[in-house]
Each structure stands twice: as structure tokens, then as C-alpha cells.
A = this chain, B = another copy of it.
């Protein structure tokens, strides 16, 4: 069983001679070792895979493949859970330092202070932005951390029923259903009002039927609309459920109220907007923040400040007794690896834009959307649905332009076209049968906006 792979020598230092020497020390031939385990079950004739490519061949292959994607985009009218924002050069520079990228989970704090401190700082940023008391050091993404929040609520409240606002991102709702289904927890949907926000009446009435562990509301919701979290929180707490606030657009944390002030028990969401590229949907960043009273219940890892034997400041993973490697099937979650490097990236991003920059960005996103909406309405082909409801950087517009046309008209403009909503999500506006969820961020510079409006006039 002699290997001849061309690349083995790049990634495998041992030469044939060295392997012989090692086998001699071991006192066995390799085939003998394998036979001990595998008997005769070795893969017949080897794997049916092509020969390895050398690096230069790989670059060519990759280049040919990736050139099948459409060209570069300077802005995106498409949001719905993934957002195109500007990423300062310093962010990927620092987040790609080998000391961060190639490190392991910081189980050994003496040689992992870099990761530990940066995660502590990430937690600090999340506590400030969500206005909660305790943030873990990341989950996978917004949808799965939302699902974990519902599971946590169930652990705390035990009631086999949860409510989810109809205005929650449908993929988040689907993920919640997947996570809750095997536990027999019923997921009831709270209706949407005519203004594109969750119905308080339906919420009140559904909460009154039987006990619920949690109520999940998203803001800005799937339609881009800001929900009245404070008012909802009051209702939820009256019925002794946990209030789970979710977000898909972390940029909104700079401008909107979440957390303690709106009665949240958990704030969860996706942190991709904080310096991470969209990367076709992943890896993103799950944010999970809660109250200290749930510090035995929340999922995921958390870093705490401590001291070393010389009394110096030192960071270490803490509250570990909740976790799978200690509690096994009784753990608060099975989560092990999280998205530490992305949490670090978010910390660098927030450190970079800073207090005033983050606020200014949030405002700019609001302003850019308003500019886009006015511009589109002025073409006569668009009209805003849910006109009275406040929005952040996404809004629903009805349009006379069908999706195929939308795509072809925008073909020459370097933007991702907006999301065409399925029938029924938003009410039809007379004469404009198509509805779109349209997003604008700070990337939509005036020059591109002009091109967009030109193409859609």
C-alpha cells in the first residue's frame, strides 16, 4: 500500500524513509496495523476520486468554476437575513492573523488569552448592544440561536407550547420548528396586523388559551418593520412566558431598543452585519444574550474574567457545568464549537467603527432606504405597502414590474435585485400585483441609486 499522491509531500512531512524508520520503532508494518482493525475491509481499489491537483492547477480550476458566478455587486437590494455592508480593511486583516485563525478552542487558558480576551470583549459588545446582562461567546447563526432560545425557554418554563409572530423570517421559523418538533412542543403562529406588525389582540388571545413557554418576535421583522417590543413585552410577561426578541440585521442594534428596557428575557439574532461577509449564507454569527437569572440555563460557552496564581487579570471559560462535555445528555445544549473567529471579527468591527460610527451607520441605513423608497415611488411603478409602519433598512413595496423583468432591468446595474415575496405575505395593492422586500444599506451610494432608479423607471 504505497502512496504516490503528488501533494502528499506538501502537507505530509514524513518521507518514505522516515516512515520506514518509524515503523521499525513501532515494530510493525503498516499493513499489519491496518489488518488489526480493518481485516480485509479496505476500500477495494482505492477511492474513486480524481488524482490530486497541484496548487497552480487548483487555482486554475477554482478560477474557471467561480467565473460561472455573476459579476461583482457594489450594493444589494436583497436583504432578508443577509446584508451587504462595508467592511473596513482592518477587520479581515486582524481577524486573519494566524494566532487567531489556527488556534484551538481555549481550554488551556494560559496559552489562549488572545482568544479568551477577544471573546470576553465580544460578549461585552453584545451586552451593551442588546442591553442584556449576559451574552455567550457566539452561536452558529441567527436562526439556530433563535431556535436555541426557544429550547431554553422550554427548559425554564416547561410548557409545551410557544408562540411565534407571523412576521418572523420564515427560515427562522422553519429552524425553530425543526428544533422543537422532536420535543413535542407546539409552535403556534401569532397573526400579522394590516400594518405589517404582529397583532396584539391575537397575541393576547393565544396567550390566554394555555400556558406558553415563550413568545418570539422579530424586529425589524421579516417585512423590515420595527415591532413595538416594549408593548409586546408587557403582554408576554402578564402571561408568564419568556419574551424572546430576535433580529436578522445587527446594524439595527445601533438605533433600536432591545433588551431589558423592552422586557426581553432573551435577545438573539444574526451578527453577520458586524464586519462579516455574506459568503453565500455562512459562516455567519449567532448572537445570544440573556439575563443573569438564566445563567444555569442558557446554551453555549461564555468567558469570564479571573486571576492567575500571581493575581494578574486572566480570562477563562466559565459556567462550564451546563455544557455537553460535562453534563452529556443533561446539558443545556449540545453546542461545542461555536463561531469564535466570527465573534472576534465582530469585536474588531465594532472596535473599528466605534460608538459614533456604529450609530451613524444605523442612521445612514435608515436614510438610504427612505431615499430608495421615495425614488422608486417617484417612478410610478412602486408603492410602499404598510406605509404607516416604521422601517429600518428594508421595506415592502408593491410593483407593477414582475420578477423576471425586475431581474433583466437590473442586469446592467451592479446590485443584487430585491427579493420577490410570495403571494400572501403582503396584501396586494391595486394595480401592482407584485411585492418585493427591498433593502438599502450604506453601500447604496448615490451613483448606484441613480443607476437603479434609471433601470426601473
Contacts and interface: CB of A to CB of B under 8 A. Distances in A.
Contact of A55 (B56, B89, B445): B89
A394 interface: no
Nearest to A352: B10
A442 interface: yes
A56 B90 CA distance: 12
B86 A445 contact: no
Interface string A40-57: 000000000000000110
A88 interface: yes
A368 to B, nearest CB: 13
Contact of A86 (B56, B88, B89): B56
Interface string A62-76: 000000000000100
Contacts of A56: 86, 442
Interface in A372-417: none
Contacts of A98: 97
Interface residues of A, number: 12
Interface in A429-457: 442, 445
A305 interface: no
A60 interface: yes
Nearest to A63: B74
A82 to B, nearest CB: 19
A90 to B, nearest CB: 9
Contacts of A55: 86, 88-89
A172 B74 CA distance: 44
A52 B74 CA distance: 22
A97 B94 CA distance: 10
Contacts of A445: 60
Contacts of A59: 86
A451 to B, nearest CB: 13
Interface in A70-124: 74, 86, 88-89, 97-98
A74 B74 CA distance: 25
Nearest to A96: B93
Nearest to A93: B98
User: Most chain-B CB neighbours within 10 Å: which of A59, A97, A442?
Assistant: A59
A442 B60 CA distance: 13
Nearest to A74: B60
A21 B89 CA distance: 32
A86 B63 CA distance: 14
Residue from A56, A74, A97, A442 whose CB has the most chain B CB atoms within 10 Å: A56
Interface in A18-47: none
A445 B58 CA distance: 13
Residue picked from A55, A97, A442, most chain B C-beta under 10 Å: A55
Nearest to A97: B98
Contacts of A97: 98
A98 B59 CA distance: 26
A97 B445 CA distance: 33
Nearest to A85: B56
Nearest to A55: B88
Contacts of A88: 55
Contacts of A442: 56
Nearest to A356: B9
A432 to B, nearest CB: 33
A88 B445 CA distance: 37
A446 to B, nearest CB: 11
A75 B60 CA distance: 12
Contacts of A89: 55
Interface in A314-367: none
A429 B327 CA distance: 85
A93 B55 CA distance: 15
Contacts of A74: 60
A55 B60 CA distance: 32
A356 to B, nearest CB: 9
Given A59-B86, A60-B74, A97-B98, 6 more contacts: A55-B86, A55-B88, A55-B89, A56-B86, A56-B442, A60-B445
9 contacts: A55-B86, A55-B88, A55-B89, A56-B86, A56-B442, A59-B86, A60-B74, A60-B445, A97-B98
Sorted nearest first, the 6 A-B pairs with minimum C-beta distance are A56-B86, A55-B88, A55-B89, A60-B445, A56-B442, A97-B98
